[in-house]
Amino acid sequence: MESKDQAYWNDTSRLMWTTLAIWFFFGYVVHMFVVPLNKIVILGFPLGFYMGAQGSLIAFVVLLFWFAKAQNNVDRKHGVAEDE
Amino acid sequence: MATQSQTTAAFSQQLGKYYATYTGTFVAFVILLAILEWAGVPNRVIGYLFVFFTLAVYAMIGVMSRTTQVSEYYVAGRRVPAIFNGMATGADWMSAASFVGMAGTLFLLGYDGLAWVLGWTGGYVLVSTLVAPFLRKFGAYTVPDFMSHRYGGNFARFLAVIVLVSCSFTYIVAQIYGTGIIASRFLGMQFEIAVFVGLAGILVCSMLGGMRAVTWTQIAQYIILIIAYLLPVIILSTQKYGIPIPQLMYGQAIQDITAREAQMLQTGLSTAAALKPHIIPFQTYSPLNFFGIILCMMVGTASLPHILMRYFTTPSVREARQSVAWSLFFIFLLYFTAPAYAAFSKLEVYTEIIGRDVTQLRPWLFTWGELGLIQICGKNAASLDAAIAACKAIAGHPGVVRLQDFVINTDVIVLSTPEIAGLPYVISGLVAAGGLAAALSTADGLLLAIANALSHDIYYKMIDPNASTARRLTVARVLLLIVAVLAAYVASTRPADILAMVGWAFSLAMAGNFPALVMGIWWKRTTTTAAVLGIIAGFGLCLFYLITTRYFPQAGVTYFGMSSLANPVTGAPLVDVAKVMADPRWLADVPAVAANPLQSRVGWFGLNNINCGMLGAPLGFLVMIVVSLMGKEPSKEMQAFVDEIRKPRGQTVIQEK
């Protein structure tokens, strides 16, 4: 593989791992602490329950829009983006 | 290509206008029906008008989108803008189970039900980062196309078709079953006839126009289903708390539920055994199974062919990624509302039914009791007298409804909300139309995935590569019809296991597809032999675990060292395996029947069988890595091919005719 391609793929891989780390945090790690989080109550919602019902979902939606943008920037930086 | 993006923008704008007009017409139609109801038109007629109007619209879009071009039929000409493809994916994704069943599951399980909410949303992160954009760049018509190109031909293709059909067929049967249930409940049709009405609704959308028609109808179906889901609960929230944002207001309901739970225990309205506190985790699923469900549903999402193929239809790789984000946004609108439904209904049940004198029950209950969906004191609550008689028959019954006296089917939660809120029948009709839209749109996507795999992969690629375009499309339509009729036939026999099998589809897809897709894109070293063996091992193990634990648990105990799963609260075994095994009725060689006390209650490591992907997928990865490293590196051409699908710029890698 040419070094140019390799640089692009390194950036893409790094972005992938970053995105998956955030995904793992909101998909799993935060829910492991549901019992202590439930002691915090906001607007009637115990926080641990809220993260499962809404918080993590909002995080996933934001994460995906951010990822689409970030990957576009990577594509443009390395000149492999599609024509607009 | 400035001109191309201008045309895309213009096309997008035009679509926006069409669907805005459509939404306006639909709202006007609902208002018209409300006026008709006020004028005294009977409910039955309102229900029929709802169903036939929506079916007619889907049919019209289906007929208008008919096509004779192969690329239109398989991938909608690859020009569906990101946001519209997102809506279509939302409808494709949200099935009857999401629309009708999700809130009910949360009602019954409380916190543990959130595993499904999380699992059925977070998977889109994997779709976008690991799989979909690369498949879009590859330019396939089907997922097996990719497997075949990357892994040396038709054997890998054939395996991929087997995986696809086994995870999609049970799923589509469940959707047709769902349309039958909804149509029979709201229209009073006989279930078997309702199933075939649902079948007609599915066929008019997909038969003539394939993916193109399904795309445009799914968007129309999404609009109806989301209005139907949000409207009743918004009205309910306004009635109870004065603010029309149920997603924010149910915090109060949760507080009230928790307070009421403690009160019910104190006053003897419930026993500790009958009550699952709403916010306390890990009462139904052990932590292992809770996180296992999240993982299997997420990874399954990224492996299900009927979802992945939706991203083949976008104009570019960039739009495929954006489209995944939009998909999740549109799905999120429903999923983050479902817990509000559950909380409002639970509060209603806990305060208005539990603790009430049996003679004072509210009448909305009995419409569902008649259908066998609500039981009081162990009998269907078909009428007030039936409920009173049933409770009298219990020795020492206090005459008020206790929690353990009350059983509700999960489907009732969403369907009964309009009645609980005292809304006119037109809203119930709207909910029925929404549920129907959810079931039909998912069925369409699945049907197309199966029929395309059979017509494109099996017929065109494996049997007759010289077939003409006209012939290929004819074969595609005939196979579509056959698969649809077969699925409707199976649904009409009311198979008992079908609802359990929907969850299995995710684990099977995870074990069969995920390792091969991800490794094929992300690790060039993956060899053909490794992938084929990995698919067989992973999928095989998952299937083995499912079938053994569900249908042959005795054999699992005798030959494969399985033991009882544990009660998540006490940690004690769910069943006394030794006692059951000693019982002559359950001899090891008797095939399991529904009453088998070991069914789905034994396994390895305390893992539920729905989580069999947790066994299959790691094995698949392991086999692929080990066998790849033992074999020769893939050819230079194959490595160049992988490089090519990794870069968004340029033509699709293969150019399908």
Q: How would you classify residue B280: left for phi > 0, otherwise alpha for psi between -120 and 50, otherwise beta? A: beta
Rounded-to-10 torsion of CA B449, B450, B452, B453 = 110
* Residues B526, B527, B528, B534, CA torsion sign: negative
pLDDT, position B32: 95
DSSP code, position B458 = I
B657 band by pLDDT with thresholds 50, 70 and 90:
low
Residue A83: inside a domain, yes or no? no
Q: Provide CB contacts within 8 A for B575, sequence distance 6+.
A: B564, B597, B598, B601, B602
- Whether residue B5 and residue A84 make contact (CB cut-off 8 A), yes or no, is yes
Quote the crossing angle between the two packed helices B338-348 and B246-266, to the nearest 10°. Answer: 40
Confidence at residue B27, expressed as pLDDT on a 0 to 100 scale: 94
Helix axes A56-77, B114-126, angle to 10 degrees: 0
Which of the pair, B620 or B204, is modelled with greater confidence? Answer: B620
Residue B388 lies in a domain: no
Instruction: Report H helices in B349-466.
Output: 364-370, 384-392, 412-420, 425-452
Lookup: tokens for B386: 């039936």
Interface of B with A in 246-265 (CB under 8 A): 247-248, 250-255
Chain B residues near residue A75 by CB distance under 8 angstroms = 318, 648-649
How far is the C-alpha of A35 from the C-alpha of B283, rounded, in Å? Answer: 13
Write the pLDDT tens digit of every residue in B452-469: 999 999 999 999 999 998
Alpha carbon of B187: minimum distance to chain A alpha carbons (Å):
34
- CA angle (B494, B497, B501) in 5-degree steps: 120
Residue B335 pLDDT more than 80? yes
Which residue type sits at A59? A
- In the chain, the amino acid numbered B178 is G
Helix H, strand E, coil C: the string for chain A is CCHHHHHHHHHHHHHHHHHHHHHHHHHHHHHHCHHHHCCCEECCEEHHHHHHHHHHHHHHHHHHHHHHHHHHHHHHHCCCCCCC
* Dihedral sign (CA B296, B301, B303, B306): positive
Evaluate whether residue B137 is within a structural domain.
no
Query: For an interface test with A, which of B78, B127, B279 has the most A Cβ atoms less than 10 Å from its Cβ?
Result: B279
Residues A71, A80: Cα–Cα separation, whole Å: 11
Residue B340 lies in a domain: yes
Q: Do B128 and A64 touch (CB under 8 A)?
A: yes
- What is the per-residue pLDDT for B622? 97
CB pairs < 8 Å spanning A and B:
140
Residue B407 sits at φ, ψ, to 5 deg, of -125, 130
Can you read off the two tokens belonging to residue B425?
């029948």
Q: How far is CA B620 from the centre of its chain?
A: 25
Nearest-by-Cβ selection for B324 from A28, A64, A72: A64
Taking the C-alpha atoms of residue B583 and residue B460, their distance in angstroms, rounded to an integer, is 54
CB B29 within 8 A of CB B16: no
Q: Which residues of B touch A30 (CB under 8 A)?
A: none
Cβ(B520)–Cβ(B151) below 8 Å: yes
- What is the spatial distance between Cα A11 and Cα B452, in angstroms, rounded to a whole number? 36
**Which of A24, A57, A76 to probe the B interface (max B CBs under 10 A)?**
A57
DSSP SS3 for B408: strand
For residue A80, the distance in angstroms to the closest alpha carbon of chain B comes to 5
Which chain A residues are within 8 Å of B252, Cβ to Cβ? 43-44
Contact B313, A79 (CB under 8 A): no
Encoding tokens for residue B552? 């042959």
Would you say B113 and A26 are in contact if contact means Cβ atoms under 8 Å apart?
no
Can you read off the two tokens belonging to residue B289? 């199974």
Give percent of chain B above pLDDT 90.
55
Structural domain includes residue B259:
yes
Note the pLDDT tens digit of each residue in B577-626: 888 888 776 665 555 455 678 888 889 999 998 999 999 999 999 999 99
Is residue B1's pLDDT more than 50? Answer: no
CA distance linking residue B606 with residue B616, whole number of Å: 16
pLDDT, residue B596, reads 78
Q: What residue type is B312 in one-letter code?
A: F
Residue of A nearest to B640 (CA): A1
The pLDDT assigned to B157 comes to 95
Structure tokens at B565: 């799963």
Residue in B5, B121, B316 closest to A57 by CB: B121
Instruction: Quote the pLDDT of residue B5.
Output: 64
**Digit-coded pLDDT (tens) for B84-119:** 999 999 999 998 888 888 898 999 999 999 999 999
Nearest residue in chain A measured CA to CA from B336: A54
Structural domain including B214 reads 15-122+155-290+317-344+422-506
Sequence letter at residue B515: P
Asked if A75 and B252 come within 8 Å (Cβ–Cβ), the reply is no
Q: Which two tokens stand for residue B303?
A: 């492996």
Query: A45 in a domain, yes or no?
Result: yes
Say whether B506 sits in a helix, a strand or coil.
helix
User: CB count, 10 Å around CB of A56?
Assistant: 26
Q: How deeply is B267 buried, as exposed, middle or buried, from its count of CB atoms within 10 A (0-12, 13-18, 19+)?
A: exposed
Tell me if chain A has a CB within 8 Å of the CB of B652: no
| Alpha-carbon gap, residue B92 to B95, rounded angstroms | 7
Q: How close is the nearest chain A Cα to the Cα of B567, in Å?
A: 19
Residues facing B408 on adjacent strands: B374
Q: Greater confidence, A68 or B203?
A: A68
The answer on pLDDT for B13 being more than 60 is yes
Minimum distance, in Å, between the CA of residue A18 and any CA atom of chain B: 10
Answer left, alpha or beta for residue B282, where phi above 0 means left and psi between -120 and 50 means alpha: left
Residues of A in contact with B124 (CB under 8 A): 60, 64
Name the minimum distance, in Å, from the CA of A75 to any CA of chain B: 8
CB environment B171-201: b (16+ within 10 A), e (fewer):
bbbbbbbbbbbbbbbbbebeeeebbbbbbeb
Confidence of residue B416 (pLDDT cuts 50, 70, 90): confident
Q: Is the pLDDT of residue B2 over 80?
A: no
pLDDT in tens, B207-246: 888 999 999 999 999 999 999 999 999 998 998 888 999 9
Q: Domain for residue A84, yes or no?
A: no
Residue A82 lies in a domain: no
- Tell whether B325 lies on the interface with A, counting CB pairs under 8 A: yes
- Domain assignment present for B490: yes
Most confident of B50-64, B79-93, B489-503: B79-93
Band of residue B568 on the pLDDT scale cut at 50, 70, 90: confident
How far out from the chain centre does Cα B216 lie? 20
Least confident range of B377-386, B415-424, B547-556, B600-609: B415-424
DSSP string, B199-267: HHHHHHHHTTTHHHHHHHHHHHHHHHHHHHHHHHHHHHHHHHHS-S-HHHHHHHHHHHHHHHHHHHHHT
Sequence-ordered alpha helix ranges (H) in B39-80: 43-64, 70-75
What is the average per-residue pLDDT within B475-499? 85
Q: B564 pairs with which residues across the strands?
A: B602
Residue contact B321–A68, C-beta within 8 A: yes
Joined tokens for residue B277? 């506190």
Six-digit token pair at B445?
């996507």
Give rounded-to-5 percent helix, strand, coil for chain B: 75, 0, 25
Give the per-residue pLDDT at B583: 76
Residue numbers in A near B254 (CB within 8 A):
44-46, 49
User: Is position A30 within any domain?
Assistant: yes
Which structure tokens are listed for B115? 């595993």
**What's the total number of domains in chain A?**
1
Q: What is the pLDDT of residues B159-192, one digit of tens each?
A: 999 999 999 998 898 888 888 888 877 777 788 8
Q: What is the pLDDT of residues B283-332, one digit of tens each?
A: 989 999 999 999 999 999 999 999 999 999 999 999 999 999 999 999 99
Q: Quick check: is B8 in a domain?
A: no
Number of domains in chain B: 1
The range of the structural domain enclosing residue A45 comes to 3-77
Residues of chain A with pLDDT under 50: none
